[in-house]
Each structure stands twice: as C-alpha cells, then as structure tokens.
Chains A and B, each alone.
Chain A
Amino acid sequence: MDTLKKKFQKLATQHRKAFIPYIPFGFPTLSLSRQIIKTLDSCGVDVIELGMPFSDPVADGPIIQKASVTALNRGVTLKLLLENVRQLKKIVSTPIIILTYYNPVYRYGLNRFFTDCAKSGVSGVMVVDLPIEEAKEYVMCARARKIDTIFFVTPTTDTVRAKKIIKMSRGFIYYVSVAGITGPKTIVMKPLLDHLSLMKKISHLPVCVGFGIHSRQQVRTITRQSDGVIVGSAVVDYIERHYRQPDFLKKFSAYIKQFYV
C-alpha cells in the first residue's frame, strides 16, 4: 500500500506541501462526520487525520476536549470508526490516518487493531500518549500489517532522541510546534523554523507541523521549512460554529481551501 509515502513523493514532485485537517470521528454527529470526510476528500486535502475521541485527552485544549465529549455521547467506538472508514474508503481516495490515545487501542488489542486498520484501508496511526519507549510491540504489530507509525517530535525533544523517533516512524514525522496543548495560539516563528531546519537535516521522512495552527499566514510561513501542516482545533471550531447553517458543507469546503498554499 504505502499510501503516505506515495502521497508525499507525489507532493514533492509537484513542489507542493501537504495540508492535513484533523477531525474527531462522530463530531458533530455520526452522519455529518461521514459527510465531512467525503467533503475533505472532494476538496483535495492531502491526508485526513481522523480522531478517535478519548474520555481523558491530556494533550488537548478545550475545543477538542468538548468535541470529544460530543462524539463519545454519539456512541463512537474504535470498532464503529474502523467500520465507517472501511465503508468510506470505497469512495474516498485520500489517505486516512487515525489519531487517538493509547487506552482505546490497548483495550481493542494491538493485533486486532492493526488487522482491522489494514482491512479498513487506514494508512497510518498516531497515538498521543505512546512514546517510543513503550511502543515496541505496537510498532511490530503495525509493521506486520504495513500500517505507518507516525510519532511526535517536540521542542523539548533533543537531537539524539529525535533520531531514535525518526527511526521508529513511517509515513511522516509529526512536529509539535510549541510545548503545550492543542488549540489556536500565536506561534513564535523564529525558534520553530530553526528547529524545523534542523529536523529537515536529520529526517529522511517528511516533516509535518501541528498544534496551534489556525491561519493561512501561519501555514505559509511554516511550510517554508516543512513538508506540510496539520490543522486541528481551528477546523473543529469552524465546524462547531457553522454546522447548523444551510450550505454548511459548501462553506466548509471554502474554509478548508483557503489554507492551501
């Protein structure tokens, strides 16, 4: 399969950067969340990062916390998410990656999880609270099913450790823009760009940046030194504020496209 690798190779030959929106599955409703995924696919985003909500999301700010509660109240489970992805992948060609916390995956069973990911056509997985030291079995299971393992590198990660993380990663590296939680914020660009240029030197994988990104201007600046951006809270916030309106999906499409650089 190797869809992320192909995707980034294609982007590189076109001199384009990846735009990766994050949406929690089941938010704001199950059916609307399916439509949102289809919309993202048709408006040409490069990868869709689908969140499996968790009851105790320690790395997330208020926007995603609230959306997670909504989604969980709709009855979202990992099983339901994977079944939906399997259905959607029949018509959605954009690679889908899953972002979650470790407990739902652990409960599901690592082997079963990656087997079902492969069956559903999931390209990659990232788990917020699973650092590389705890991820040996996880990585083994993922490799056996050819699912990409995406790990995080942050401003507090030193170079030696970053190299270890890169070694265990497949697909791309998720670079966390600032030490903190998710949610729109002002990002001081100079240190970020310095870190990114260092990352580019040591990483053979594409580097995408997430956390805090909410404006086109930020995307422009950050993609100068990276292979793509992930926009989460801002997208979720947009959905929260607009999904009740008529032509929501059309407006949403326009909102997403304004980030393309």
Chain B
Amino acid sequence: MKVPDSKGYFGRFGGKFMPETLVFCLAQLEKHYRKIRTSRKFRQELGYYLKEYVGRPSPLTHAVRLSGQLGMKIYLKREDLLHTGAHKINNTVGQALLARYMGKKRIIAETGAGQHGVATATVAALFGMECDVFMGEEDIRRQRMNVFRMQTLGARVIPVSSGTRTLKDACSEALRDWVSRVKDTYYLLGSVIGPHPYPMMVRDFQSVIGQEAKRQFRQKEKRLPDYLVACVGGGSNAIGLFYPFFNDKKIKFIGVEAAGEGFFKNSHHSASLVRGRIGILHGTKSFLLQDAYGQISEAHSVAPGLDYPGVGPEHAYYQQIKRAHYVAVNDAQAIEGFKLLSLCEGIIPALESSHAVYYLNIMAKKKANRNKKVILCLSGRGDKDLEIVQEWIR
C-alpha cells in the first residue's frame, strides 16, 4: 500500500485537521508539490544544491572501534557533516525551491532548538527570501547561539510567549502567522508533522538519507543491513532513513524516542509513541502527550530537538502495522551515548542522535544481535549541545 492516501492518511493516522482558512493553502501547496516532484527541472535543481551546497552524498562511516566494543558492525550515516551540521537542510533546500517555484517572497518557520530555524534562515539567505522564524521564549533563552546564527543569516527571530514557550507554541504561532498572510508567505515546516501534505513532503525530501545509505551499504557489504536505528522527535531523520527500505521486510527499524526524566508520575518526557495516546495536534492525527481531557502536555528531553509532544503520523502507522519498533532512552543514557561516540570514534554527536547511539548498547546485550549489521542515522553534530552537556556533567 502506498502511503499517504489521497487524503493524507497513513492508515488511520495523519489527515488535515486545520482551520478552514488554511484548507485552500494546503490544497495549493499539495498541487504545486505534486506537479514539481516529478519534474525533471526541479529534480536537477534540487540535486545540484544538495551536491554543491549541502555537501551530499554524506559518507557512510564504518564505526570500527564502536563496532569492536559492541560486537556488531555499525555504520554511521553522517548527516552531521552536512552544511549547518544536521539533516534539517535536506528538507529546507527542497521546500525553499518549492516556495520559489510558487512565487512566495517570504518564508516562515518554527524552531525548537534552532536547528531547523538555522537551516531555514540559511536557504532563505541563499535564495534571497525574507525569513521570519518563530521560537519560544524559553528556547531563545536556552539557545542563544542559534538565535544569533539565524540573525547573522538575515532572519528575524520572533519570540513566542504563549503556552509553554517552546517548540509546540512556536509551531502554533507560525500557523497563526500563515493564516494571516497566506498570499505571500510560505510556511516551511521542519519535521514530518503537521497537516497533509507536510508529513509526505518532508519525508520525500529526507528520503535522500535512506536512498544514499542503501546504495553505500550495498557497495560496502554487498548486501542489506539487519537494523536501521534513528532517534525520533517529530521523526524526520528516522523516516528519511527508514522509508527507502520499507519494502525490504527483513530489515528491522528501530526508532528511539526521548524518555527524558524517565517514566514516573509527574516526570517529563517526549516519548509520544511509547507512552502517548492518539489525538489531534497541529493538523495531524497521531500519538500525543496529553492529559485525560485532551489538553496537550509539556514535553521534555535533554535533547532540545526532541521535545515535541507529538510525532509524525507515518511513525504512528509504522508502529501500528509493526513495521518499526519504538523504544525510549532517557536523558542520562543519552549523555552516555554522547560520550561513547565522542570517545570511541572522535565524533561528537548531537544529543538527539545520542539517544540512538545509546540504544546500540542495549541491542548489543542481546546474543542474537552478535555481528549484526546496523546503520545508525547520525542526524546532527553535537557542537550545539556542548553547553548543555557541560552543565549536566557539573
């Protein structure tokens, strides 16, 4: 079955739960996207920027010492080596080209930690577009450097003071802005969340990760891997890795969510798939962190990019049909993963990716996993997180 269907559903998840004003914009967006996605000119242009500007293909590095230590053969898909230091740019280049094709002069985006904001500000500068990034006040305080990076790139960073003052509120505020300026504005959403066609479109642009990894792995190993492992917040890097392998049924997908402070009464985490319940937020039906009355709860993770109270509908679907298995790793374990990869391989991973790195430890404990071949999506580099880790260690 091909997902999503024409209404934007991945099984029972997804859809377009949006105020009527935006229905027209979403329809326009989908129409334009469907038209260009197969156009030769667009594909060439996207290919050009991915190669010459973003720095693709990213290497698939054999993590030799880590493999030795864990008794598995581990390859890292190096999204950390891309321009701006994370996989987010794959999507922003694609969508910015689409925005340009649609004749939009202004781009808006939401950002949590600032990675998607930086990736958006970057392409806005590249294509000479006006750029406003919505960011929660709380996040602005925590991520001063990324705020300055965006400003340096010519973007305006607009503080969001509503709700929990974090990513979900930034997302709401971006939607509010879009509703008010639909004519000239393109909303560049950063993950596989939101109303259709965003989850599909972002997945398509991120699928370059899995396509390359598949080709590279075949070259090196003359076969396919046993496991794909990636961290899941909204889930864009994970779906980008998983999706091109969807039909290779023998390969197991593991999505690693953030268990934050752990699963105790009143503790905070971001594990929507592992611990959430089905609901509707920001236009899509998926698993959410919410109370018994349908009010959205606050998400937490030491990795700023994972603290969103929802998750992409395609992941909810993969979980439902048991195509992928979702697990959760807590803050302290993620820090362990951060140190592990830094010391073993000389690669400082983003705290988001560190969740996935730590999970390798758990996999390695199973005898059946001995000598299994694994691709781990190293979604970003960890320079941005040094301050957080420093504070944590203290």
Contact = CB atoms under 8 A, between A and B. Distances in A.
Contacts of A181: 176, 179-180
A228 B278 CA distance: 37
A240 B179 CA distance: 26
A77 B20 contact: no
A222 B15 CA distance: 34
Contacts of A60: 176
Contact of A104 (B17, B20, B278, B295): B295
B295 A129 contact: no
Nearest to B169: A56
Interface string A144-161: 000000011111111001
B69 interface: no
A176 interface: yes
Interface stretch (A105-113, A191-199, A230-238, A242-250): A105-113
A104 B278 CA distance: 11
B176 A58 contact: yes
Interface in A130-170: 130-131, 133-134, 151-158, 161, 165
B15 A134 contact: yes
Contacts of A153: 20
B281 A103 contact: yes
B16 A134 contact: yes
Contacts of B290: 103, 107
B63 interface: no
Nearest to B26: A131
Contact of A103 (B19, B24, B179, B294): B294
A88 interface: no
A184 interface: no
Given A103-B279, A103-B294, A129 B17 contact: yes
B101 to A, nearest CB: 20
Contacts of B172: 56-58
Max count, chain A CB within 10 A of own CB: residue among B17, B25, B169? B17
A62 B161 CA distance: 10
For the side of the interface on B, what is the size category?
A: 35 or more
A72 interface: yes
Nearest to B9: A134
Interface string B9-27: 0000001111111111100
A78 interface: yes
Nearest to A80: B293
Given A130-B17, A156-B23, A158-B24, A55 B7 contact: no
Given A156-B182, A179-B182, A105 B17 contact: no
A102 B169 contact: no
B21 A129 contact: no
B72 interface: no
Contacts of B19: 58-59, 128-129, 131, 152, 154
Given A58-B179, A156-B24, A165-B20, 11 more contacts: A56-B172, A58-B19, A59-B176, A60-B176, A102-B17, A103-B290, A131-B16, A133-B16, A134-B15, A179-B182, A181-B176
Q: Which 6 A-B pairs have the closest CB atoms?
A: A107-B294, A104-B294, A156-B24, A180-B180, A152-B20, A77-B293
17 contacts: A56-B168, A58-B179, A72-B295, A78-B294, A106-B279, A107-B294, A131-B20, A133-B7, A133-B16, A134-B15, A153-B20, A154-B19, A156-B21, A161-B23, A179-B179, A179-B180, A180-B21
